[in-house]
Amino acid sequence: MRAWGKDVGNTSRTSDDIQPLWPRMLTNMDTVTHRALYAHPGSWNDADMLFVGSGDFDRSHLVEARAHFTLWAMLNSPLIIGYDLRKLTPDLLAIFGNADIVALNQDPAGNQAVLAYDSDEVQILVKTLADGSKGVAVVNRTAQPAKATLTAEHLKLRPDTDVRLRDLWSKADSSFRKDMALSLAPHETRVFRAAGTRRLADGLYLSEQTGRVNPAVDGVASPQADPTIHHSITPWIGTHGPGEHPQYGGWGGAEADRAPYGKLLRIAGTDFDTGLGVLGQSRLEVRNAGFTRFATKVGVNDSGTPKAGTVTFEVWGDGRLLATSPAMAFGMAPAPLRADIKGVRIVELVARGSIATTTQPAAWADAALLR
């Protein structure tokens, strides 16, 4: 459903039913985090309803309740309250009524947060907001205290100038240069609104505007189970049976700031921290909003293989071919590709594999729309 749900419905459920349990919340969250390019205004990834107020997220577990609410807001999952509002305590009302958090969910740019850092213990999610500022959530998935470092690079901001933060729970303001150390309580999510000097001064990276990118054809030939999804005990069967199997959460499709299958964006040994990872035989549609130039560096991702053929990259504008790359083979250095997109409404990014039966991973590295 990841490939077609976005085209026919306003929401796409990404998971089995949620339950008021921390591990089950992680399971549902994990089905969404690698699908940022598959959601946009008018069609959202739905990790199921909120259980704020119940179970592991009740009035005695406010750290977990705030984390649950924050993560659904960052991921643009519908904020459907699964709780009897007649039983609200002031603390729970303060969670549901936090206008700054709700604003992250309702931001008109419609960009789902992208993983800037990923591990089994700590994750950092960043989303670019309509006014150019950033929402950032630092997540402690574990039941132990955790240390984390938030960097300007995570936010695609310059490290040599001030990064200004507002904590959206405490409302405290702070700033840092280069990086900032954070201490996280068990299950805590810290969330900020951040602003600073953009690393890319004259435009936006495509991975910052996921709400404008549509994987019209994502090149997935055989959907594969996603091993990154948190395996929790399924509440309705307990430990009867063999346990929960890996689910398909969009594994292998287009990704922001990562190659398919969650791999690093890397071409011929050169790492990139921004770009779109795709498969050969893919076509992305990008809604342009007054930008005049497109720039990227293209190549076969290092997670590919020499035997899977070459990939040729094409940039189209409103049905006209604007630029094309050489046939890029595994191990070839990244090739610059630029196009004039002034007046273009829809920019199409096409990656054509030379062997139709394979899915060679490819990268639109440093892909950006520029003014």
User: Residue 21: CB partners within 8 Å, gap ≥ 6?
Assistant: 55, 56, 232, 235
The predicted model gives 212-233 an average pLDDT of: 90
Phi-psi region of 75 (alpha: psi -120 to 50; beta: other; left: phi over 0): alpha
Q: Which of 305, 290, 296 is nearest to 274 (CA)?
A: 296
pLDDT surpassing 80 at residue 358: no
Kindly report the average pLDDT of the chain as a whole number: 95
Q: What is the pLDDT of residues 111-124, one digit of tens each?
A: 999 999 999 999 99
Give 52's pLDDT tier (boundaries 50, 70, 90): very high
Every domain range in the chain assigned CATH 2.60.120.1060: 206-370
pLDDT of residue 318: 98
Query: 287 - beta bridge partners?
Result: 346
Q: Which of 122, 334, 362 is nearest to 252 (CA)?
A: 362
Every domain range in the chain assigned CATH 2.60.40.1180: 5-205
pLDDT of residue 106: 98
Q: What is the pLDDT of residues 83-109, one digit of tens each?
A: 999 999 999 999 999 999 999 999 999
Provide the percentage of residues in the chain whose pLDDT is more than 90.
87
pLDDT surpassing 70 at residue 182: yes
Give 6's pLDDT tier (boundaries 50, 70, 90): confident
Burial per residue of 280-299, b for 16 or more beta-carbon CB atoms within 10 angstroms, e otherwise: bbbbbebebeebeebbbbbb
User: What is the CATH code of the structural domain delimited by 5-205?
Assistant: 2.60.40.1180
> Which tokens go with 94?
């303060």
Q: Hey, what CATH class is 206-370 in?
A: mainly beta
pTM for the model: 0.96
User: Residue 136: CB partners within 8 Å, gap ≥ 6?
Assistant: 116, 124, 125, 126, 127, 150, 154, 155, 191, 192, 193, 194
**SS3 call for 6:** helix
pLDDT surpassing 70 at residue 357: no
Q: Which of 60, 51, 50 is nearest to 91 (CA)?
A: 60
The predicted model gives 268-275 an average pLDDT of: 98
pLDDT of residue 285: 98
Of the two residues 337 and 357, the one the predictor is more confident about is 337
pLDDT of residue 351: 97
Which DSSP string corresponds to 103-121? HHHH-TT-PPPEEEE--SS
pLDDT of residue 356: 75
Are the beta carbons of 77 and 113 closer than 8 angstroms?
no
